[in-house]
Amino acid sequence: MKAVMTIELTGRQEQILTIVKDSGPITGEQIADHLSLTRATLRPDLAILTMAGFLDARPRVGYFYTGKTGSQLLTEKVKKLTVKEYQSIPVVVHESNSVYDAICTMFLEDVGTLFVTDKNSALIGVLSRKDLLRASIGKQDLEAMPVNIIMTRMPNITVCYKDDLIIEIANKLIEKQIDAIPVVKELPDNKWEVIGRVTKTNMTKVLVDLSHDQLI
């Protein structure tokens, strides 16, 4: 998906903005007359400027200049992004799995956080790298130790929903100083099913998409 507002405008698009600023509301035909071009020739430029938010269009009235800068438009777009657009697949282990199994899973899946579920697939805990490292120090039998002994338990788990704003979840990651937040949906008896995860890597993906003009 394209973030038109972040790309460099063409000379003709700059001309169109100037005309609309000075003469708006103004029709597409009138803009075309100003530039000695056909309406069909300008149609892609007008579509880009309108979709990007620089211009607003009203039927039978014409084009208006919104007065917003590229950075303002970009900020507005970022504030509308939701978790479901950037969540990734969660890596889950059962509460009866051993710490040794969890370490292997974390290594093989190349993740920094595991989500622990009970026999009904409800979220009951979270395992971080620190939790597994702490358990590895000493002489404990990691193959005999279940993960539910060392995991962070409910209600001390920060969760989010697929329709939450991504900027709010980014703030939670920073505030809580954690690497990942499970995306959940509600189950009966105030329990949650894990349906995704949002990590610092997902947040980096948002930044990369911005730099490559990938946001609408």
- pLDDT tens digits, one per residue of 69-114: 655 556 667 777 899 999 999 999 999 999 999 999 999 999 999 9
- Residue 61 — pLDDT band, cuts 50, 70, 90? confident
Mark out the alpha helices in the chain (DSSP H runs). 11-23, 28-35, 39-52, 70-78, 99-109, 129-136, 166-176, 200-211
- The CATH number of 83-208 is 3.10.580.10
Where do you find CATH 1.10.10.10 in the chain? 4-68
Mean pLDDT of the region 3-7: 43
Mean pLDDT of the region 135-161: 91
Half-sphere CA count of 100, side-chain side, radius 13 A? 7
Mean pLDDT of the region 49-65: 82
Position 140 scores a pLDDT of: 84
Where do you find CATH 3.10.580.10 in the chain? 83-208
The CATH number corresponding to 4-68 among 3.40.50.300, 1.10.4080.10, 3.30.70.870, 1.10.10.10 equals: 1.10.10.10
Bridge partners (DSSP) listed for residue 191: 187
